[in-house]
Structure 1
Amino acid sequence: MSSILSTYGRFPLTLVQGQGTRVQDDQGRSYLDFCSGIAVCSLGHSPKVLVDAISQQAATLIHCCNLYHIPQQEELARCIVEEHVKLPGKVFFSNSGAESNDGLIKSARRFGHARPQADGTPRYEVVSFLKSFHGRTLGGINATGQDKVKEGFDPMLPGFRHVPFNDLEALEAAIQSSTAAILLEPIQGEGGVHVATPEFLRGVKALCEKHDLLLLLDEVQTGFGRCGDPMAWREIVPELAPDGISWAKGLGGGFPIGAFWLSDRLIDGDQPLSSLMGPGSHGTTYGGSPLACAAALAVLREIQTLNLIENVRAREAQIRETVASWNHPLITDVRGVGLLLGIGLDTTKMQVPEGKLPAIYLSAELISHGLLAPPAGPETLRLLPPLNVSEDEVAEALEIVRTTLDSLKN
């Protein structure tokens, strides 16, 4: 009997080793990994550059508390601000995406105190979107627009509203005098791989300017090259200027690290937004450690050195062209950007055992044929390979998908 809490419905698979895009189970069987730890292993498994960075830093200094200056942290923050966000701002390092989103939510409330309602009452509400996912902390589940993550955790925290994604009219109707921020994923990953339209993102920004709100972007699953540009929002609307961004997952390439960024834009006279989170406002024991930052720096530099952005775009084109050529009756569409792609399933034409969710059942069938690819909701299969996946590996994975779907046709 396991001593681990049963918080996951796990597939019957035990992975013990990985190299590049392939992993092995405890029976010695090999699999192509198009899950990548759910968009985490940007460079695949055990890349030499990451192993070396972790080993060298671990032999020097593993942990240093944030009461002191950490050179690796300073360099990583500079790299993120100057080379990736390319907008003036400041970074806070955490350990996960949920923590990063909690930091954005706290920042929104600080902003609501600094820029209160007309009667002086602080603003505190955050508007987010149906089918969104922002983590499993109390702050994260309240911001998430999916009821299933909230069951049994009542009462919910006050200050959150949810509206349909890509619906500007519904969004504007939800804005109240108490609203402080709008939080969204440029591409909803867990909710089924839904992409924000350029018109929607531009409209959200216009509403933020009209109502003096913060525009907060959750790039936990999308950031640092997975969707083409290092920032997924820039792949959709290049000129967009957000007020805050959260990250995790691919930032560390498998080593736990998260971060959020706040803009230096002035919100009142000469006061920058980023200054609202001053000493005592937020903290972490492990966030931004020398080891975590050395790992993340190695990942980001390798992505740039190998120009993996171009590979991401080439492999996206390959996947789209190949899947379109099948004209498969079980596939409705391919959604997403870069290497965060969702294959929509026509479940009415699919043989699925009673009581099984189609996408989960398909994922299990793919495992039996040597491919790891996670579901995204009940009717979408996600493809999340490493950013350095090869053309041949993509072709191999897609052939497994095609033949498996063929076997499930009614």
Structure 2
Amino acid sequence: MASRASLRLAADAIITRRPATFTRSYATTTHIAPGTKVTISISTDAAAAPAVETKSPAPKKQSTTKERIDGYAPYMVATYSRPEVIFNRGEGSCLFDINKKRYIDFTAGIAVMSLGHNNADLQHTLFQQSKQLIHCSNLYHNHFTGHLSKRLVETTKKLGGMHDAASVFICNSGSEANEAGIKFARKVGKVLDPTGEKIEIVSFRNAFHGRTMGSLSATHNPKYQEPFAPMVPGFKVGDLNDIGALEGLITEKTCSVIVEPIQGEGGVTPATDEFLIALAKRCREVGALVHYDEIQCGLSRTGQLWAHSHLPKEAHPDILTTAKALGNGLPIGATIVNAHVAEKIKIGDHGTTFGGNPLVCAVAGRAVYHLSRDNLMTGVLARSKVFTERFELFKSRYPELVSGWRGKGLILGLQLTEDPAKIVAECRERGLLVITAGVNTLRFVPPLNIPFGLINEGLEILEEAIKATRGKGEEVKAETTATEETKAEEAEAEEVKQE
């Protein structure tokens, strides 16, 4: 009869798949109740233990991309209209679909994957931290929330941004970061004016600040607001870069003005330096806070750590929000505030369950380290030049289509005279991912370390797509499509062979 120790060892081998020190199978008879016997057969061969599934879920039989998408669709709330492609791997500045087709990624997950897909250092940090501590809530201290907060404040001040940055609230997303900024501004307004009248928040047309009710109320776009109206009261809207309207827009009742130094979703439209300086000046006159939303344009995307870093100190913000690149794909947001704001926020005023968890903060700390390096920021400007020079070429070659470009660093918009949807689709067919913004604008927000060779290859694909939509590239399109079909067939044959 097997000993209890032997049985425990066998069970442990089955559960953990660790090799046991013996390989025989034991039949043991044990008394469950008087007069009742049960025979249990236990295999102690660890190899017999069932494998734990770690691969992406997929049907056992071969199925097309469309069949898989149609199979999942009934179980997903339809908040997005997606093309018929399923990605299952990323590497550097490229994504790969389930047919092993490669796509050059000029989107970076909407300005998120600034250090590229599967960055080796961030992967290592994620793996190591996952073995230590993932979550313990904000009821207790952990090392990484404090470390990330300190790094954000010190790096920001060192590299010319927000000169009086003092402390940080860490949350889970850009919307949450802006929501915190809005709440903090309301609290400051009530402290400064106990009558409760200093509660108005000003934002600008074509801005995008998020989808939670507070941040959505600052996003004055009917497409986003109308389904969920009425909005939170107390929000006013103005026109970006209209200096003359600031005095009437920002009043003694204003507690905060939230603005993107470069509007991303709104069409890659920069706020002028003169406008931001005048805006900050007016805010100081009436005791309103300046809130810069750098969720998309910050963390070196413009070639400097923050899009406002070059501005004089008097135009620096009281509240600075960031997310996207901060986690390089992991969910995180941060609201950086100066002491004027921080001292008015008391324990219990705001909170988060998952925000600041050790796992994501460990990765974000490494991301900030890499994103704040001089060579990365210099590289952003060099890569930007490759894009903008080609944009000028497009403008001269296709004057009826391309009217200009906007942006800075690697947040760029190519302004077209027509809907770019067909060009986006043609690019995708040829293995290039690009997205839109605003009205008739192609948006380019690739990884900040994208190789120059991939930039040039992607821009060649973009020109092929432009030609195809203008009836000048059918031969190129046919050749590319045939090649991709061949690759897909080869990939499918390889999958069948492996199965």
The alignment status of 1:163 with 2:231, answered yes or no, reads: no
Work out whether residues 32 and 372 of structure 1, in 8 Å CA contact, stay in contact via their aligned partners in 2. Answer: yes
- Contact 1:198–1:237 (CA under 8 A) maintained in structure 2: no
Q: Which amino acid aligns with 2:427?
A: L
User: Closer, same or farther in 2 for the Cα pair 1:344/1:63, shift >3 Å?
Assistant: same
TM-score by length of 1: 0.92
Shift of 1:190: 0.2
State the SS of the aligned residue for 1:392.
helix
The answer to whether the 8 A contact 1:223-1:251 is kept is no
Matches within 5 A, 1:353-368: 358-368=419-429
Residue equivalent to 2:215: 140
| Aligned counterpart, 1:98 | 175
Residue 279 of structure 1: aligned partner:
347
Alignment of 1:11-410 (within 5 A): 11-86=83-158, 87=163, 88-116=165-193, 120-235=195-310, 240-264=315-339, 272-305=340-373, 307-326=375-394, 327=396, 328-329=398-399, 330-347=401-418, 358-409=419-470
CA distance in 2, matches of 1:400, 1:45: 21
Larger radius of gyration: 2
Which whole-Å CA distance do the structure 2 matches of 1:34 and 1:170 have between them? Answer: 36
Q: Deviations over 1:255-308 (max 9, x none)?
A: 1110001112xxxxxxx3211122001100000111011111111222345721
User: How many residues align structurally?
Assistant: 391
* CA distance, structure 1, for counterparts of residue 372 and residue 206 of structure 2: 32
* Structure (1/2) with the larger helix percentage: 2
- For residue 407 of structure 1, report the CA deviation from its aligned partner: 2.1
Gap change, CA 1:235 and 1:373, over 3 Å in 2? farther
The percent identity for this pair of structures is 39
Is contact 2:201–2:258 with CA below 8 Å preserved after alignment?
Answer: yes
Q: Distance in 1 between matches of 2:438 and 2:124?
A: 37
**Distance (Å, rounded) in 2 between the aligned partners of 1:405 and 1:361:** 9
CA distance, structure 2, for counterparts of residue 364 and residue 238 of structure 1? 44
CA offsets, 1:352-380, max 9 Å, x none? xxxxxx13332222101110011112300
Return closer, same or farther for 1:311/1:91 CA change in 2, 3 Å cut-off: same
Q: d(CA) in 2 for partners of 1:171 and 1:148?
A: 26
TM-score, normalised to structure 2's length? 0.76
Distance in 1 between residues matched to 2:134 and 2:197, nearest whole Å:
41
Partners of 2:422 and 2:168 lie apart in 1 by 40
C-alpha separation between the residues in 2 aligned to 1:238 and 1:337? 21
Relative contact order, higher structure (CA 8 A, sep 6+): 1
- C-alpha separation in 1, matches of 2:312 and 2:425: 36
Q: Is 2:155–2:372's contact at 8 Å kept on the other side of the alignment?
A: no
Q: CA deviation at 1:244?
A: 0.2
3-state SS of the aligned residue for 1:170?
helix
Per-residue deviation, 1:239: 6.1
* Amino acid across the alignment from 2:375: N
